[in-house]
Amino acid sequence: MKKTNKRIFFTENLLFWNATRNARTMPWKGEKDPYRIWLSEIILQQTRVEQGLEYYNRFVYQYPTVSLLAAAHENDVFKLWEGLGYYSRCRNLIASARYIAFDLGGFFPESYDEILKMKGVGPYTAAAISSFAYNLPHAVVDGNVLRVLARFFGIDTPIDSNEGKKYFTELAQSLLDKGSPSLYNQAIMDFGATVCKPQLPLCESCVLQKECDAFNTNRINELPVKEKKLKKRSRFFYYVIAEFEDKIYVRKRTEKDIWQSLFEFKLFEKEEKITAEDLLDSAELKSFAGQGFKVQSISKFYKQQLTHQSIEGVFIHIVLAAPLANDEMETIEKDRISTLAFPRFMTRFFEERQSF
């Protein structure tokens, strides 16, 4: 794409804004260690900066190098990640750390294409790492960047369409200051996060206002355009905490979903909401727990909203009359439960309950 006057105006004024603002200070800003940059980028995918910061510090403290992360026990890493959600990120973190330590001799990849080969790293993260760590000329394109570009250039091509993705990527690349890609990328991301925000952007004091298409045509709330509106799926979880002789039955999840490799209790999932008593009366519960079990407690219903689904669930604690004949579950002593990594949905219940 050619550099038009409007594009030159955009890049120059964005860099001017960057040079004259009070930048948010974050430990990963100005960082040149690709391992730490990668860590911060993976943690910040789908996580607010305020929450991610604490986890970033914990990871850097516990695993200061990629080799130490690669050598860590999987359950310890999951435990450190606990509460951040979207656990596929943690699985990919472990897989990529091992790939770097064992396949690449401990050397972090140094080119955009090589970085892109790491698990869990897409074009955005590869551009961020290659520009921040190595100052390579790759423009980042994330939600913040898309919003700024769609508004400033008045583009109504849906940002999530194939055509939109291609167009915005080329546009972003054409705007990049090739002399200082790291500075430029940080500037546009921060500008989207703090000035051209999704709601109530700070147009009155914006350095781009004079040439901003959305501002001049009063379309700020219409841009960017999205093709797909997310439809949420409702799920209802009934966790049965089965206890026998001071031990609790748990299971490590193997399903390829966001909670893979985390632990859980016996789960009965329903498409419709039923009461805990309905479940206790059901044939499937009796076939799982056998005869003569006692109900110890029934929790309130907990709720959690994820991007694509809403989950409601209850925890039913029962004491069995005989051990389970169920080889997909293992037992752990009640007082050691907290050493396992569980999904956030379940740790909220633990926090309120405190002990078994």
Where in the sequence numbering do the catalytic residues fall?
A: 41
Contact flag: residue 214 with ligand SF4 (CB under 6 A): yes
Q: How far is the CB of 8 from ligand SF4 (least distance, A)?
A: 16
Work out the burial of residue 246: count CB atoms within 10 Å of its CB; fewer than 13 is exposed, 13-18 middle, 19 or more buried.
Answer: exposed
Contacts (CB under 6 A) with ligand SF4, residues 29-88: none
Q: Please report, as a single letter, which amino acid is at residue 114.
A: E
Please select the residue that binds ligand SF4; options are 215, 259, 265, 293, rule is CB under 6 A. 215
SS (H, E, C) the chain: CCCCHHHHHHHHHHHHHHHHCCCCCCCCCCCCCHHHHHHHHHHHCCCCHHHHHHHHHHHHHHCCCHHHHHHCCHHHHHHHHCCCCCCHHHHHHHHHHHHHHHHCCCCCCCCHHHHHCCCCCCHHHHHHHHHHHHCCCCCCCCHHHHHHHHHHHCCCCCCCCHHHHHHHHHHHHHHCCCCCHHHHHHHHHHHHHHCCCCCCCCHHHCCCHHHCHHHHCCCHHHCCCCCCCCCCEEEEEEEEEEEECCEEEEEECCCCCCCCCCEECEEEEECCCCCHHHHHHCHHHHHHHCCCCEEEEECCCEEEECCCEEEEEEEEEEECCCCCCCCCCEEEEHHHHHHCCCCHHHHHHHHHHCCC
Contact flag: residue 266 with ligand SF4 (CB under 6 A): no
Contact flag: residue 209 with ligand SF4 (CB under 6 A): yes
Contact flag: residue 189 with ligand SF4 (CB under 6 A): no
Contact flag: residue 196 with ligand SF4 (CB under 6 A): yes
Q: How far is the CB of 144 from ligand SF4 (least distance, A)?
A: 11
Q: How far is the CB of 202 from ligand SF4 (least distance, A)?
A: 6
Which range in 18-26, 31-39, 199-207, 339-347 contacts ligand SF4 by CB under 6 A? 199-207
Please select the residue that binds ligand SF4; options are 121, 139, 175, 195, rule is CB under 6 A. 195
Q: How far is the CB of 187 from ligand SF4 (least distance, A)?
A: 13
Please select the residue that binds ligand SF4; options are 91, 138, 151, 266, rule is CB under 6 A. 151
Which of 226/294 has CB closer to ligand SF4?
226
Contact flag: residue 208 with ligand SF4 (CB under 6 A): yes
Which range in 69-77, 130-138, 200-208, 224-232 contacts ligand SF4 by CB under 6 A? 200-208
What is the pattern of x (binds ligand SF4, CB under 6 A) and - over residues 226-265?
----------------------------------------
* Alpha carbon distances (Å) from 270 to 117, 146, 273, 306, 317: 38, 38, 7, 17, 18
Q: How far is the CB of 208 from ligand SF4 (least distance, A)?
A: 4
What are 197's strand-pairing partners? Answer: none
Contact flag: residue 193 with ligand SF4 (CB under 6 A): no
Which of 14/136 has CB closer to ligand SF4?
14
Q: How far is the CB of 113 from ligand SF4 (least distance, A)?
A: 32
Q: How far is the CB of 189 from ligand SF4 (least distance, A)?
A: 14
State the residues that interact with ligand SF4 by CB under 6 A: 148, 151-152, 195-196, 201-203, 206, 208-209, 212, 214-215, 220
